[in-house]
Structure formats: structure tokens, C-alpha cells
Structure 1
Amino acid sequence: MKILDRYILNQYIKTFLSVFIVLMFILILQAIWLYIKELAGKDLDVATIIKFLYYSTPVAVPIALPLSVLLAAILVFGSMAENYEFAAMKSNGISLQRAMRSLTIVILGIGITSFLFANSVIPWGHLKQRNLRGNIAKIKPAMAISEGSFNQLGSYNIKVADKSGENGEFLTDVIIHKKNARKNGNYTVIKSKRGELKSSLKSNVIQLVLEEGNYYEDLNLVQPRKNSSSPFVKSSFDSYTLNIDVSQLNKVDINDESVTDNHRMLKINELYNRIDTFSLALTNNYKIYRTNQHNTWSPTTLDRRIELDTIKENPIDLLASLNTADQRRAVDVAISKMRSQIAAIKNRESQIKREETRLAKHEIEIHKKYVLGVACIILFFIGAPLGAIIRKGGMGLPLVIATLFFLTYHFIGIFAEKAATEGAFPAWLGAWMSTFIIFPMGMYLTYRATTDQGIFNNDFSLVKLFSKFKKHPKTPSPIA
């Protein structure tokens, strides 16, 4: 290996590792901020928090790795161009392609490694993080009595309209549904204007004191006549105390991994197996629904009591021959059948749509494992020539340009995947669209850089544009 190759590799690898570590740190902090609501107030030990951060690290790689490749290329080649190192190389007959040759081999290695990483480590990270988040959410459920929705606490479902107080202990408009294990249902409802949590939210027994409320209980009598006349018993109270035991709910296995069916948790061979299963199930659903509709609306099944040959009249004449009550009854029956059929069609349509969306997500996930490696290679061939063109090092302009390029690439990918899952175009196109769009850009920038041209022409560059505004600030107009 020549001295030049060692020099360029040394500069790039140091810059790449520094940028990658910083970006991973930022993205892990973002994960904590994103899931802070699930983590806060759970009395988690340090080991569990470190475990959550450890599992979140592979999940952040698909964003940090391509951006690090792009930003490191812009910084290294921009600094070399700014310090006239490229001019010295060209004077000795060394072209930009020759300077990029050693790095190209490294980037190809990064691309292949990222594919293997995306097929093994990233699914493992999603599996571990998702299950750990779910297990953490089950810890101390008494601390998660949210406003405006029912919260399951043991055999009680509690809903509050508002919480107040320093620790949220004062509740307003409390509604409680109590399960009955013997009758297997909710037969008791408690409503109160106010409530107060007396005991600590961290204890295994929650003491809830209700004020000014009513207690309703369904009787469920054996005799239907009495059941219709006396459906429930109502009693009023000024103060009512509930002791809710949540000790069993707090016994959560933090290492449980019961969720394994998410598409992000699967490897390529597992995704192919799922796709085959879902495709076969979707095809069978189409056939079953088509057969059922044909059997339901076949003329022989509309009314088996009447032979088809006996209906000679026009349907309108047949309806006119009926009296008013029979006409009304016939129209009501027809409307009822059509409404039920429309509802059945909508339900079937939504079900098939969910199955198609699930299938598209699995197909997209397969392509995304390949896209990560290809994107790293293409973004390098965008960043290296772009750095040579702008001729600017440091973390100022190169950082802005790299961020704009990557955000454009990333948002195109998000919108394309969303549209593909909704059936706008094939799943493979949704996964590869952002890569297809930036690929011509990489070829164009490489050509412009190797021919010593700017982004647009020789008289225009981003550095000249920024320097123009710095040298010619706008002077205030004189006051008349």
C-alpha cells in the first residue's frame, strides 16, 4: 500500500469513527426521549437501563451508518481540497478516481458488512428492545393511571377525567368497571365525582377513596320478566374505599420475549417463509369470499320456496300486485339485505387491506436489508466528489450539505415505503426508490469532480455563493 492510500485511509477512518460515535450517541439519547413516558417512574435499576440502551444501539445503525459515510467523505475530501492537497496530487498525475480507489474497497466492505448486520444484529436488537419495552410497561401499572382512558388494575378498569395534586393523587369524575370472575363479565360499575389515592403508588396495594358517587350492579336474574323490570341495583355513598391488590401485576419477568412476530425482528429466510404463508392465506381468502358471494346471491338461493320458472312477471309488476303492507315489507327486507351486504363488503375490504399491508411490510423489510449496504456505497460516491467540489472542510458548510442530502434521501424513503404499504406501487419500488433517485446524483457529482467542474458550472459554486453574501453585506438605505 502506497503512502497516499495509507494517508487517505487514515484520515477517512478516523473521521468516520468519530462521526459515527457522535451520531450513535445522539440517536440513543433520542430513543430515550422517545420512550421516556414508558420508562419514567418505573424504579428501574441501572442494569435494566443499560440493557435498554444496549438493545437500542443496533436499531439506530440504519440511520447513523449512511449519514456517517456521507459526512465523513465530505469532511475528508473537502478538507483535502481546501488545503490544495488534490491540486498537488493532480500535478503529479494522480486523479480523483485514483485517490478514491483505496476508500472504495473499504466502502464496499462496509456495504457488505452492513447487509450482514441488517440481516442478523438489527432484527435481534428490535426483538430485544420491543420485548424489554413491553415488560417495562407492565411494571408498577398503578403508576400509569392516565386521563381520559380506561386503565387495567387487577380486576378493576379505572377511568378518570382529570388528575391534580403534586403527585396526581386527586382524581375527578372517576368511573370504575369491576370484573366478576364467577360471572365472567363486568357487572359492577362505580361512579364518583371525586377520588383520592391515599397509599403510595409504589406499593402493592392501592387505596382509592371515592366521594359522592353511585354503585351499580347488574342483577342478572333467572326469570326474564323480573330481569327486564329490575335490571340492576343502585346505591349511593358519600365515601367509599377500594383496596386494589396489584402485587401479582408487579411480578413481571423483565427478560420475557413473547413478542416475536414483528417484521423488523425477522431475518431474510424467516421473512420469505412469512411471505409465502401470507400470500397463500390472502389468495385463499379471495377464493373463499368469491365463492361465498356467488353462493349467497345465486338465483337458486334467493328463495328456495319458489321455482324460478314460476316468476314470469316483471319485478316491478310483481311489486305493484302486492298490497301496501307487503310492498313496505318487501322494500324493508331488500334495504336490510343491501345494508348488511354493504357492511359485509366493507369489513371484508378492510380485512383484505390489512393483510395486503402486512404482506407489503414484510416484502419491504427484505429489500431494506439490501438497501442499507447499497445506500452506504452510493452516499460515499456523493460525499467524496461533493467535498472535492465545495472545497471546504470543518463542521460548518459540509455538515449542512450532508444533512440536507441525507434528510432528502431519508424522507423520500419514508414516504415511498408508506405509499408502498398502502398499495400505491410495488413493495420493492418503495424500498429502493430513494436509492434510485440519489444514484444518478452520485454519478453526476463524480463526473463533475473528475473533470474539475463545479456543481453547475465553472462560475458558480456554493462556496462562492456564501462568500458573496459575506463580502457584500446589505447596507441600510439612507433616511430621507
Structure 2
Amino acid sequence: MSHRRLNRIFYREITGPCLITLLVLTFVVFTREFGRLAEMLIRRNADAVTVVQIVAYILPSVLIFSIPFAFLIGTLIGFSRLSSDSEIIALRASGVSIWQMIKPVLKVASAVALITALFTCVLLPQGNWSLRRLSHELGFKPLQSEIKPRVFNEDISNTILYVEDIDLRTSGWKGVFVHTSENGKRQIMLASKGDLITSENGRRVQLHLENGTVYDTNEAAPERDSLTRFGTQDLLLSMPEMETAFSKPKRPKDKTLIELWRDRQHGEASEQRANGVEMHGRISLPLASLIFGLLAVTLGISRPKGGRGYGFITSIVVAFSYFILFDLGRSLATEGAIPIWLGGWGGDILLAALAGFSFYAASRETRIVERIVDHPVLSVAGSGVRRFMAHLSGLFRGVAAAAGNRFWDICTVCVQLTRVIDLYMLRNFLFYLIPTLAICMSLFYLFTFFELMDDIVRNDVSYWTVFHYFLFLVPHILTLLVPISILIATLVTFGVLDKTSQIVAFKSCGISVYRIAVPVVLVSALSGAGLFVLQEYVSPYANQKQDSLRNIIKGRPVQTYYQLGRNWIFGENNRLYNYAHFDSKNDIFADVSVYDLDISENRLNYHLYAKKVRWDPATRNWIFNQGWRRDFAGGNGPNYEAFAERYFSFPERPSYFEQEVKESSKMTYGELKVYIRSLQRAGFEVDQLRTELYKKLSFPVVSLIMTVLGIPFSFSMGRKGALYGIAAGVVIGIFYWGMFGAFEVMGANGLLAPVLAAWGPNILFSTAGLLMLSWVKT
């Protein structure tokens, strides 16, 4: 066999898996971004070109990992398939050496390394820097979180900002409350309208207010407080993050390779280490592709009976191990725990040692993997597990027998109703579904870990906290990935059945495609029901916990969900409470201010202050100690009165200050429905929340729709196999999630009815799926 023909065989074998893996990896990472990109396109008045630019700027940070990762997985899958079909044995018998197999792979690895180097050395720093500049040019609010209605925002230095409502069409604010404190001076501003205005170069941000009131307080002499009205007023905000984005030097990840080389010996020691680690990482990561190529070939041919499943699992383990070592080494080197060069090259060195050993074993035809698997220790462990499972099975049988013959009668009826075909289809479907979901979750966790690694090391976060974060992230990941996993599993299951002519055999026995699909449809429906239960009873709590843990990892103040804004809370009739501390066990407040506001008129009626406030259960009143009251609503001008102790009756009880305030993703369907009704009675716009409400019902149905859509698509692929099914599933998922995000944002902005925005994609895709299913030859 000529070398050219042999090379074509290897190229063809690894190209398909590599490209499909690259597509899957990129899709999994961008699953979280569809909604945000659609919001930029519609709500923030960014045109389609701008959204494409944002995607282009984000892509390099993803592709520098996904390209080498995809090459490793694709190569290992390809050679594992050749080995499992005994084609490697045939080639070795024909005189083809290990080196002749490795040479074409190393050529591809060299191309992958050059492409990865282009991204790490040129496109990545350009993308990072351009994304920062573009975000300011678009006037994005440089806050850690967006301004949300009816939530106190404390991201602006020395400023508390509260917006009663937001006009979704213009993004303007209605009913604005601003509290500023600096150098012992406190100021409150009320305005009917407001907005953030960013300068053209993005360096300055000011708060523009219209038709309002300014209340200046004097803590030393409260009787001298003043109240003035204004038509328009602009407040220059102190935005440290925005200033550092342009005034400080570039971060290491924003610098090109030349800039890193130039700055490696400039600045403080920590900056030198950061620049050096980044420079070494930019070079070591692309060169890892060469090692991946050598390792993939030698591991792929070392276990003849492994197949593609063995190749995929092995590549996942290798990729996880390398990238964890890569990120951990960089972080330790940045902290000065290990030398800079070792931090950048440690993962490559260990991987090269493993590849060299694997090549030595493969060249001497030493099946090291089979020897490890067949090791006496593992054999003894495996037999022990089998004996334990047999004992456990016998125990369950004994318990069942004790339950009486009635139980066995019911089981017999169930077995008779469950036919062999249903069990066969169910087994095949779950055989692809469970690994697909596990792999997608692994990839999601992998890239999330990469994203947080620097923060974990910099903020000295314990790995137990990281474990808890990943644990509470599971419901969110399942909600995102179960539908796409069901789609891929459906495509692969029916695609393989069609390729192996099993569909023809079923038809010849008089069994239609519709009958074959029943167990798959039932599993999908049960999965949708499970997602709804997860969304209602697990996700609200889990989302709160994972948000809190993520803030700890990121080094941000932990955001409590008991009164967002912590010490600011609105009571009835626009009564605003501000306190320094609340002892919920003894119902005692410290340093309390009560502001009686008339938001519709932008007016402050009175300001009540006390150093200590406690609840009296006997009289059911609040006792204010060492305080004063300043009235502004009287016709004779402001009135000031101090007191040592006074009783006040407010409708808010101590339990009111402990009640939980959540976002829509942290509420059940019933809680969100009640919340929407209360906002509607108050006259607020609730299109966005109503869209979220209907989405809680529509999204779990996606699993069933994916199955209905996947069955006819699997037959349209002909006999192309499982890999094409995976690729088709990812492409369909991209279109579906993109449409789902666009419809959701249009519903939130009033461009579509909320119910149509939530159910529109489901209606379109389910209709298309049913039509295609009706055309399938049964």
C-alpha cells in the first residue's frame, strides 16, 4: 500500500471526529451565551454586525482549548475504531510500522499547533482587548450586575441605586431613588425619570435625572437638613472599574506575545511573574497538540477491543488531566510557588513523558492498557464488586418475597405488557443518552473550571467550596443539556438502527417506525416531567446557592437573597427602611432611618431616625430610642423634633424583614405567578416576568420536541452513522437555542405576546417535526 493512500485513510478517519468534536465543544460552551447575545441584539440596540463582532472576540478564548481538545479526541476515536475492527492488525501484518502511522498524524498535529499558536499569540489578545473597548463603546453599564427594577444596586462606589420600573422599549428608568454618602455627608435624590449616560470614549459615566428632589442630610446637625427640587440634574459617578479599563496598562491576557516579552522584566515582581507565565503558556499550549497526536495514536492502537467508546473516554481523561495541570501550574507560578517556566511547561513535560512511554510500549507491541485492566488487583476488585451486586440482588429478592405474592403478580403483568422490542429500544436509547449527557456535563464542567481557576487560586478558595459550587450547578446544567442530549441520542439511536438494516427487519415483521419510537417518546416525556420537577423544587434553591458560591470564588461580596441590597427595604405605601444591622433573633435594629416617600410626586414627606429600634410584642409596636424626626410635608416648612424614646406603629412586622426576595430563576411557578400579580396591581410592566412564567411551562416540553424532531432527521441522514447524527443534533440545537433566546427577548421587550414568546419556538419546531415524521416511510 502506497504511503499516499495510507495517509488518506488516516486523514479520513480522524477528520470527521475532530470536526464534530470541535463543533460540540464550541456549542456546549456557547449554550450559556445565546440569551445574552440575543439581548444585545434587541434590547441594547446593538446591530447584527456588532453581535457578530462580540462572538468573534469571544471565540479565541474558547478555541485555544477546544481545537487541541478536539484533535486529541478525534484522533483517539479514529485509531480506536481502526484497532477495534482489526485494521491496525492488518496494517501491521502488511509491514506498516508505528512510525508510519504516526507521521501523517504529526503533520495534522503541526497544522493544529500552528492554528492554535495563531489564536494564542495574535487573535486571543486582540479579541480580549477589542471586547473591552467595544463594551464601552456600546455604552454597557460597567457594573457587576445589570440594573434591575425593584432591586437595590450597590455596585457603584458610595452609591445606592433603586429603580422602580424600566421602560423595556427605551431602557429608560422610572421612579429613581439614589442615595450617596461621602465624607460623612449623605444625600438622597428622587426623580421621575433617569438613565446612565456614557461618554463617547467610554471613560466617564454620569447619572441623568429628571423632575426630582434632592434631600441633603447633616448627621452632626439633623435640624439643618435641606430639601430642594430640580428639573434636570446630572451626577458624575465614580466607576473604578471603568477608569482602570483604560488608564491602567493592559492585563497579561490582553498583551501580544511581543508585548509580554518586552514587559517580562518590568514592573513589580507579581506583574513580571504574570507576564512570564502568560508568555510561556501561549507557546506551550499549541505545542501540546504534537504530544496529543503521538499519545492518541499509541493509546488508540494499544487496546484492540476498545472501539470508539474507549477512545472517547480515554481522550476525556487525558484532556482533563492535562488542562488541569496546565491551569494549576500557571496559577502556582503566578503566585510564586513554583518557577515560571515550570508553571507554563509542567503539563507538557508530564504529557510528553506519558506519550514517550506509550510509544515505547506500542512499538514493542506491549499492550500496556490491557495489562493494567487485567491486573490481578483489578481482577480481584472486579470479582468482589460482582459478588457484592449478586448479594444485593439476592437481598432485594428476599425483601420482595416477603412482600407477598401480590407483588409478584403485579410484576408479572408489567413484564407481559412490556414487550421485548420496547426493552430493546429503551436499552439502545439509554445506551447513547446517558454517555452523551455525561460527556456534555463533563465538557461544561471542564470549561467552567478553566474559567474559575485563576479566581480560585487568587482568592484562596478551598476546593471544598468549588466542589459545592459544582454540586449546586448540576440542576442548571441538566436543564440546559438534557434536551440536546436527548436529541443527539435520538439521532444516533435511529441512525444506527437504519444503518445496520434493523429498521428494515422491524418493518418486515409488521412493526412500524411509530411503534418502535414509543419507548423513546415516553422516556423523553418523562425527562421533560423530571425537568419540570427539578425546575420547581430544586433549581430555585440550587441557583441561590451556586450564585452565592460563585461570588465567593470571584471574590465579590456575597449577595444575600434575604432583601437584595441587604440593609435597604421598601415597606408599604413607599416607606423605605435603612438599617446598619438587624438582629433577627431578638428583633432589634441598629442605626435605623425610615423615609416616607411619595414616588409619584418625587417627594420626601418625613425622615425618621433612631440609634436603636426594637419590637414590642405586647403592644405590637416599634420602640425607637435616641432618635429624631424631620417633617417636610407641612405647609409651614420643615419641622424637626428629637426624642429619647417613642412608640411607632408600622404595618411591617419583624418577619417582614426576613422574607426572601428572589429573581425569576429562583422562584417556583406559583411564587412567580403571585409576584407578577402583585406587580400588576401596582401598575408595573411585567412582560418580561410573564415571559419567564410561561417559559417555566414551555421549556420542559423541549425534551419531547427534540425526540419528535430527531426521529425523522435520523432517517434523512441515510447510512452515514452516529457521528453525523451528533453533528446534525448540534446544528439543530444551535438553531433552536438561538430562536428560543431571540423569542424570549422579544417577549420581554413587548415585541411579542409573552405566551407566544415562550411557546413560539416549541410550536414551530414541533410542527416541523410532526410534518417530517408524517413523511417517514413506516
Which bracket does the TM-score occupy, shorter chain normalised? 0.5 to 0.7
Contiguous gaps of at least 5 residues in structure 1 = 178-184, 219-228, 250-255, 279-354
1:326 is aligned to: none
* Partner-residue secondary structure (3-state), 1:138: coil
2:54 aligns with one of 52, 55, 68 = 52
- Comparing 432-441 with 442-451, greater Cα deviation is found at 442-451
Cα distance 1:268–1:232, how it changes in 2: closer, same or farther (>3 A)? farther
Matches within 5 A, 1:193-212: 198-199=192-193, 206-207=209-210
2-structure distance, mates of 1:364, 1:123: 15
Q: Does 1:147 align with 2:149?
A: no
Cα distance 1:189–1:410, how it changes in 2: closer, same or farther (>3 A)? same
2-structure distance, mates of 1:388, 1:128: 44
Q: Shift in Å at residue 409 of structure 1? A: 1.1
- Is this contact kept in 2: 1:143–1:202, CA < 8 A? no
Q: Does 1:384 align with 2:303?
A: no
1-structure distance, mates of 2:125, 2:301: 37
Matched residue type, 1:190: Q
- Is this contact kept in 1: 2:68–2:112, CA < 8 A? no
1:122 aligns with one of 116, 121, 124 = 124
1:269 aligns with one of 242, 258, 279 = 258
Matched residue type, 1:175: H
1-structure distance, mates of 2:360, 2:193: 72
Q: Shift in Å at residue 109 of structure 1? A: 3.4
Cα distance 1:257–1:13, how it changes in 2: closer, same or farther (>3 A)? farther
- Comparing 137-146 with 45-54, greater Cα deviation is found at 137-146
Q: For 1:250-277, what per-residue CA distance to the aligned partner results, in whole angstroms no more than 9, with x for missing partners?
A: xxxxxx9888622223233222221233
1-structure distance, mates of 2:315, 2:225: 68
Cα distance 1:393–1:134, how it changes in 2: closer, same or farther (>3 A)? farther
* Partner-residue secondary structure (3-state), 2:337: coil
2:226 is aligned to: 235
Matched residue type, 2:344: A
2-structure distance, mates of 1:190, 1:215: 5
2:15 is aligned to: 13
Matches within 5 A, 1:251-270: 261-270=250-259
Contiguous gaps of at least 5 residues in structure 2 = 198-206, 239-244, 400-778
2:179 is aligned to: 175
* Partner-residue secondary structure (3-state), 1:94: coil
Q: Shift in Å at residue 14 of structure 1? A: 3.1
Matches within 5 A, 1:28-107: 28-30=30-32, 42-107=44-109
2:352 aligns with one of 436, 439, 446 = 439
Q: For 1:90-128, what per-residue CA distance to the aligned partner results, in whole angstroms no more than 9, with x for missing partners?
A: 221212322222222221233244334422222222221
Q: Shift in Å at residue 387 of structure 1? A: 1.9
1-structure distance, mates of 2:277, 2:38: 29
2:398 is aligned to: 479
- Is this contact kept in 2: 1:39–1:136, CA < 8 A? no
Q: What number of residue pairs does the alignment pair up?
A: 364
Cα distance 1:116–1:214, how it changes in 2: closer, same or farther (>3 A)? closer
2:316 is aligned to: 403
1:369 is aligned to: 282
2-structure distance, mates of 1:358, 1:132: 26
- Is this contact kept in 2: 1:217–1:233, CA < 8 A? yes
- Comparing 113-122 with 70-79, greater Cα deviation is found at 113-122
2-structure distance, mates of 1:277, 1:233: 54
1:351 is aligned to: none
1:283 is aligned to: none
Q: For 1:43-96, what per-residue CA distance to the aligned partner results, in whole angstroms no more than 9, with x for missing partners?
A: 322221111001112222221122012101111101111111111112212123
1-structure distance, mates of 2:273, 2:42: 35
Matches within 5 A, 1:313-462: 355-391=268-304, 392-394=306-308, 396-458=309-371, 460=373
- Comparing 261-270 with 419-428, greater Cα deviation is found at 261-270
Matched residue type, 1:430: G
Matched residue type, 1:149: E
Q: Shift in Å at residue 248 of structure 1? A: 12
- Is this contact kept in 2: 1:41–1:143, CA < 8 A? no
* Partner-residue secondary structure (3-state), 1:151: coil
1-structure distance, mates of 2:195, 2:327: 41
1-structure distance, mates of 2:300, 2:119: 28
Cα distance 1:158–1:167, how it changes in 2: closer, same or farther (>3 A)? farther
2-structure distance, mates of 1:421, 1:247: 37
* Partner-residue secondary structure (3-state), 1:449: helix
2:187 aligns with one of 182, 187, 190 = 190
Q: For 1:396-443, what per-residue CA distance to the aligned partner results, in whole angstroms no more than 9, with x for missing partners?
A: 443333222212211112121111111112111111111122221112
- Is this contact kept in 1: 2:17–2:74, CA < 8 A? yes
Cα distance 1:461–1:265, how it changes in 2: closer, same or farther (>3 A)? farther
Cα distance 1:72–1:453, how it changes in 2: closer, same or farther (>3 A)? same
Matched residue type, 2:52: I
2-structure distance, mates of 1:139, 1:461: 60
Cα distance 1:114–1:173, how it changes in 2: closer, same or farther (>3 A)? closer
Matched residue type, 2:49: A
1-structure distance, mates of 2:231, 2:333: 51
- Is this contact kept in 1: 2:302–2:369, CA < 8 A? no
- Is this contact kept in 2: 1:175–1:190, CA < 8 A? yes
- Is this contact kept in 2: 1:140–1:202, CA < 8 A? no
**Larger C-alpha radius of gyration, 1 or 2?**
1
Matches within 5 A, 1:149-168: 149-151=154-156, 158-160=159-161
Q: Shift in Å at residue 17 of structure 1? A: 2.5
Q: For 1:109-163, what per-residue CA distance to the aligned partner results, in whole angstroms no more than 9, with x for missing partners?
A: 33244334422222222221232234446359896367352537xxxx6404x77
- Is this contact kept in 1: 2:147–2:153, CA < 8 A? no
Q: Shift in Å at residue 33 of structure 1? A: 7.6
